[in-house]
Amino acid sequence: MEQVMKNFFLFLSKNKPMTKLAKKYGLRFGAGRFVAGETINLAVDVIKELNNKGLFVTIDYLGEFVDNEIEANEMADQSIEAIKAIGRENLDSQLSLKMTSMGLDISDQVVMRNMRRILKAAKDNGVFVTIDMEDYSRCQKTIDIFTELRKEFDNVGTVIQSYLYRTEKDIEDLNEYHPNLRLVKGAYKESPEVAFPDKKDVDDNLKKIIKMHLLNGNYTAVASHDDAIIEYTKQLVKEHNIPNDQFEFQMLYGIRTERQLELSNEGYKMRVYVPYGTDWYGYFMRRLAERPANVAFVLKGMVKK
């Protein structure tokens, strides 16, 4: 039943008519738990609150299904606005973004132009930018963009997903760039031809690439809400005397809030992924797909007076 629900919400996440409907009617039905708001000002308030609690942040202006150059340029403008707000308010925050929102599906020229102007603004404001990973069909293109940009900018990283068979090879190939990588399990529905169908294999592969990347001496963001993965990382860094400034834990805004504070209080760097914007629908559906408890929370919120 859990897998059926997951597939259902992943299907909904790619539904373009529903995405447009959600943008029209705003944040409702519990999405506010996972999304900071629709504007950068609301997001800044959330970042300040998290920073005051000792938590670091990465902010993401949500956007999916961008299929024209004008909209892609507008998405890039929003990212630059967020970067300037981070610098102006002196916030402990990075920026995350998706290549599809920058024009990946339009042309190489559009996406690279937008990324270069974003990274230039980020460099001017002392902000690090992470390129989010999307579905398998865009994986290689995203890595190609990252490696090209990494030759020009040192304030850019990307994401590697452990549920893909190719992941270990990607870690090996990227090592020459000494990359800052966010390591995750992966949140898209993929074919068993390209991704591990069994959760245990996904978990084991995540542990493997965490170890590989840390022992390569590279900065590692372990993005997981799984206590087994967190404890594995703690033991690994202790066993190999890896300093705390070489890695961090990351979790999503609105999920396991108390655990985030616990890790921070234990002396670990804890970064919270904070999305905002009107195009929240796809992101919200993937959060519901990840855990049945998220669905229960939303249903409770819908009937609560």
pLDDT single digits (tens) 74-83: 999 999 999 9
Q: Is the pLDDT of residue 13 over 70?
A: no
- Rounded CA-CA distance 243/17 in Å is 48
Q: Helix, strand or coil for residue 165?
A: coil
- Rounded CA-CA distance 34/223 in Å is 16
pLDDT of residue 219: 98
Beta carbons within 8 Å of 106's beta carbon, 6+ residues apart: 66, 67, 68, 69, 72
> Is the alpha carbon torsion for 252, 255, 259, 260 positive or negative?
positive
State both tokens at 232.
């594995």
In degrees and rounded to multiples of 5, residue 177 shows phi and psi of: -90, 0
Which uninterrupted H or E stretch holds 120? helix 108-124
Q: Which of 60, 150, 170, 182 is catalytic?
A: 182
pLDDT single digits (tens) 133-155: 999 999 999 999 999 999 999 99
Angle made by CA atoms 251, 255, 258, in degrees to the nearest 5: 90
pLDDT single digits (tens) 217-247: 999 999 999 999 999 999 999 999 999 999 9
Residue in this structure with the two tokens 């999920």, named with its chain if needed: 255
Work out the end-to-end distance of the chain between its first and last CA atoms, rounded to an integer number of angstroms.
29
pLDDT of residue 266: 98
To the nearest 10°, report the CA torsion of 153, 156, 162, 168.
20
pTM: 0.86
Higher pLDDT, 86 or 64: 86
pLDDT of residue 35: 85
pLDDT of residue 301: 35
Please return the burial class of 99, using the count of CB atoms within 10 Å of its CB with bins 0-12, 13-18 and 19+. buried
Q: Are 93 and 56 in contact (CB under 8 A)?
A: yes
Q: Is 271 a catalytic residue?
A: no
Q: Is the pLDDT of residue 173 over 80?
A: yes
Q: Is 173 a catalytic residue?
A: no
Angle made by CA atoms 57, 117, 110, in degrees to the nearest 5: 110
Average pLDDT over all residues of the chain: 87
pLDDT single digits (tens) 46-71: 999 999 999 999 999 987 668 899 99
Domains of the chain: 36-279 (3.20.20.220)
151, HSE (Cβ side, Cα atoms, 13 Å)? 5
- Rounded CA-CA distance 50/94 in Å is 13
Q: Are 232 and 240 in contact (CB under 8 A)?
A: no
State both tokens at 77.
């403008």
State mean pLDDT over 186-215.
Answer: 94
Q: Which range among 166-175, 182-191, 254-263, 290-299 shows the weakest confidence by mean pLDDT?
A: 290-299
pLDDT single digits (tens) 271-298: 999 999 877 666 666 666 665 554 444 4
Q: Which of 132, 170, 203, 279 is catalytic?
A: 132
Which uninterrupted H or E stretch holds 250? strand 247-252
Higher pLDDT, 171 or 16: 171
